[in-house]
Amino acid sequence: MISKKYSKDRIRSRITDTKHDLQEIGEFGLIHRIRRGITSSDPALVQGIGDDVAVIEVGETATKALLVTTDILIEDIHFDLSWTDPSQLGRKALAVNLSDIASMGGIPKYFLISLGLPKNLSLSFISSFYRGLKKEAKRFRVELIGGDTSLSKKIVINICLLGEGEKKDLLFRRGARVGDDLFISGTPGDAALGLRILQKKGKIKGAEGLIKKHLSPCPRVELGQAIAKRHWATAMIDVSDGLLIDTSHLLQESGVGVRVWEDRIPLSRLYQKWIRFFSKDPFQLALSGGEDYELLFTAPPELRERISSLARSLRIPITRIGEILPIKEGLRIIKEDGKDYSPSRLGFEHFK
């Protein structure tokens, strides 16, 4: 008879391989491999794997598109219960999906939510979670239409959000052209610094604004739609993993390079006040920290003035931080003193 231990060891050795494991290729290497193995001949599929959402033509004239995106939040990976309020968690679970629809310039419509929950989780946690979720859904006029529920050791939250858009208006990661400007909305790094503060010091006074950016991000749905319907941008992505790593995704899909001026990265007043306690280099976290949920987009230089006035009318900071170059230039950062470098670490990546 095979002992229990022996069979468990056999199973473990089948699923672990220290020479060739996920750490070696990382999250994006894995997605690249999956994508390579998928081909589609469906003419209605405008965009499959490789952008913030999947895009499918619908309707007889095929002028409209269905948008589909999904994002997962896992306890102790994406959130820590010691400082997470369940209502904020409900809002954030939806917000991170709304941000992907925002990056296409789409209109979010319906969502399904699947939950993995431990059996000792209090009912008040669930009620509060759904209160936050419903509040966010009302604010962005999206409706909960279903989901799935299962027992789990840790809390797992997965939302699948559906949206729609005029096919001609949608913005993809591909589309950036040499000579375009690169813009970012908001002030990158705030959410990542908020998380650092929570991890090191907890919810301390004076840092609430940064902590809120991490716990309760605001997706730029209105901004995404405003840019898309005016046809001002050539490419757009939302910044979820970090400014540089998401810039690199836009570059890869567009087949271009970029020059980013470090001293033009807009840093919030609070960020400037707190970053001193965490890093000697004030820009490093703004460039590589994740969860900003801001929009990063490219546009031809002749639209600069119009983009600035849109920013003023929506009261959202939009800053020109770089310019698109030929692909051979790669991703270059220009420091204040004029020296440039290619960063070795771009940002957050699972498994790495």
Query: Among residues 100 and 294, whose Cβ is nearest to ligand ADP?
Result: 100
Query: Of these partners, Mg ion, ligand ADP, none, which one is at the site of residue 31 (CB under 5 to 8 Å by kind)?
Result: ligand ADP
Residue 50 binds which of Mg ion, ligand ADP, none (CB < 5-8 A, kind-dependent) = ligand ADP
Q: Which does 49 bind (CB under 5 to 8 A by kind): Mg ion, ligand ADP, none?
A: ligand ADP
- Indicate whether 294 belongs to the interface with Mg ion (CB under 5 A): no
Using CB distances below 5 to 8 A depending on partner kind, what does residue 22 bind out of ligand ADP, Mg ion, none? none
Which residues in the 15-54 window bind Mg ion by CB under 5 A? 52
Q: Which is nearer to Mg ion, 180 or 291 (CB)?
A: 291
CA distances from 245 to 147, 218, 281 (A): 31, 20, 18
C-beta of 171 vs 303, nearer to ligand ADP:
171
Minimum distance from residue 301 beta carbon to ligand ADP (Å): 27
Instruction: Please list every residue from 151 through 170 that binds Mg ion, using CB under 5 A.
Output: none
Report the partner that residue 51 touches, choosing among ligand ADP, Mg ion, none (CB closer than 5 to 8 A by kind): ligand ADP
100 binds Mg ion (CB under 5 A): yes
When CB distances to ligand ADP are compared, the closest residue is 52
User: Which residues in 111-140 are b (16+ Cβ under 10 Å) and which e?
Assistant: bebbbbbeeeeeeebeebbbebbeebbeeb
Does 71 interact with Mg ion (rule: CB under 5 A)?
no
Orientation angle between helical segments 304-314 and 221-230, nearest 10 degrees: 150
String marking each residue 237-276 x if it binds Mg ion according to CB under 5 A: -x-x------------------------------------
What residues line the site for ligand ADP (CB under 6 A)?
31, 34, 49-52, 71, 100, 240-241
CB 308 within 8 A of CB 318: yes
Using the minimum distance from each CB to Mg ion, give the nearer residue, 158 or 240. 240
Minimum distance from CB of 284 to ligand ADP (Å)?
Answer: 21
Q: Which is nearer to ligand ADP, 157 or 197 (CB)?
A: 157
Task: Provide the minimum distance between the beta carbon of 188 and ligand ADP in the complex, in angstroms, as a whole number.
Answer: 15
Determine if 291 is a binding residue for Mg ion (CB under 5 A): no
Would you call 169 exposed, middle or buried from its count of C-beta atoms within 10 A (0-12, 13-18, 19+)? middle
